[in-house]
Amino acid sequence: MHNNHDRSARLLDVGGLEPPQPMVLILEALDTLGPDERLRVMIDRDPVPLYQVLSRYGCAHRTTPCEARYEVLIWQVPDCGDA
């Protein structure tokens, strides 16, 4: 069952690109991501190095294998503390 966030996610297909291009394009897209937006990334390999960067950006993710590719859904985690 898909939720509204999956359907309303902005799609970024970085398949076929050589590193570091996928990471560069994903980070550029994150810079423009609104607080209620989701980024849906399609990529040819599991982007393990990306996950630590997402954590530093204050983002969460869900990775789903999709045939010979991976779908990574990324969203911002709201601040919970009093900074």
Which domains does the chain carry?
Answer: 4-76 (3.30.110.40)
pTM (2 d.p.) = 0.84
Torsion of CA 80, 6, 73, 41, to 10 degrees: -140
Whether the per-residue pLDDT at 61 is higher than 70: the answer is yes
Q: Is 46 helix (H, G, I), strand (E, B) or coil?
A: coil
Residue with the bigger pLDDT between 76 and 80: it is 76
Per-residue pLDDT tens for 28-58? 999 999 888 999 999 999 999 999 999 999 9
DSSP-derived 3-state class of residue 25: helix
Within the chain, strands assigned E span 10-13, 38-43, 59-66, 69-76
Cβ(37)–Cβ(9) below 8 Å: yes
Please name the residue that has the structure tokens 């996610």.
9
Residue 60 binned pLDDT confidence (cut-offs 50, 70, 90): very high
